[in-house]
Amino acid sequence: MAEKPKLHYFDARGRMESIRWLLAAVGVEFEEIHMKTREDLEKLRNDGSLMFQQVPMVEIDGMKLVQSRAILNYIANKYNLYGKDIKERALIDMYAEGMADLNEMILNNAFFELGEPEITIPQIKEKAKTRYFPAFEKVLKSHGQDYLVGNKLSKADILLVELLYHVEELDPSAIASFPLLQALKTRVSSLPTVKKFLQPGSQRKPPVDKKCIEEAKKIFF
């Protein structure tokens, strides 16, 4: 039996959350090793586990992978969530990069404590509803299929649904004007593996709060 992937991060969403979503969606059980102190991070650095001295890091298939997008791409390739050819992979990557841009805004805002944030929550809501969500609604409308690429579930669909949930936490009406995004969210959320991940008590992490920020400060600053 293959060993469970080991996810090294602190006990919060951050850049590991999309990796959790992707593994959960393909039904892969994983183990989490939470860093709680600066010393935990330094131990990983000192034993050579972190190529660029940064987390997230995932131990999988005998490798210690870093850089979240590289990890996501490996999982997508391994579990057939990356399209059937180079053109489909290019579209999946393009869509995923757009999602990552918006997700990064949410992440940076959540962890910003001093001074004025580079982008505020009202700005995030506005960008989501006028730039990013219309673009994905247009993609779905253009081909009339159930999923973003090739009418087959891909990492782009899973990452988009993750993002929809995150934005709805900031604005419950965020996708009210996007019926195709609503349908995609329902479709992906109804998959047995995703439905399980969305249940209380799963390894899905809650929104960042003050406790998360304090824990992160102990580790990274």
Rounded Cα gap, residues 217 and 208, in angstroms: 13
pLDDT tier at 128, thresholds 50, 70, 90: very high
CA angle 200, 160, 155 (to 5 degrees): 95
Residues 13 and 106 in one domain: no
pLDDT at position 152 over 70: yes
Q: Please give the mean pLDDT across all residues of the chain.
A: 93
pLDDT for the residue 113: 53
Residues 94 and 180 in one domain: yes
The residue whose two tokens read 């994983």 is 30
pLDDT in tens, 10-25: 999 999 999 999 999 9
Residues 58 and 105 in one domain: no
Residues 25 and 97 in one domain: no
Tell me if 134 is assigned to some domain. yes
Cα-Cα end-to-end distance for the chain: 39
Residues 183 and 90 in one domain: yes
pLDDT at position 125 over 70: yes
Tell me if 179 is assigned to some domain. yes
Residues 97 and 165 in one domain: yes
pLDDT for the residue 34: 95
Residues 65 and 95 in one domain: no
Give the phi and the psi of residue 60 in degrees, each rounded to 5: -155, 135
Tell me if 142 is assigned to some domain. yes
Tell me if 217 is assigned to some domain. no
Rounded Cα gap, residues 176 and 168, in angstroms: 10
pTM for the predicted model, two decimal places: 0.94
Task: Find out whether 30 and 71 touch, Cβ atoms under 8 Å.
Answer: no
Q: Please state the rounded mean pLDDT for residues 27-45.
A: 95
State the residue range of the domain holding 47: 6-79+197-209
pLDDT at position 1 over 60: no
C-alpha neighbours within 13 Å on the C-beta side of residue 171: 18
pLDDT at position 110 over 90: no
Tell me if 218 is assigned to some domain. no
pLDDT at position 107 over 80: yes
* SS3 per-residue string spanning 140-207: HHHHCCCCCCCCCCCHHHHHHHHHHHHHHHHCCCCCCCCHHHHHHHHHHHCCHHHHHHCCCCCCCCCC
The token duo for 36 is: 């709680």
Residues 71 and 124 in one domain: no
pLDDT at position 115 over 50: no
Total domains in the fold of the chain: 2
CATH number for the domain that contains residue 15: 3.40.30.10
CATH number for the domain that contains residue 100: 1.20.1050.10
Residues 91 and 177 in one domain: yes
pLDDT for the residue 217: 80
Number of residues assigned to the chain? 221
Rounded Cα gap, residues 47 and 70, in angstroms: 21
Residues 95 and 153 in one domain: yes
Residues 18 and 47 in one domain: yes
Residues 97 and 147 in one domain: yes
Q: Please state the rounded mean pLDDT for residues 75-100.
A: 97
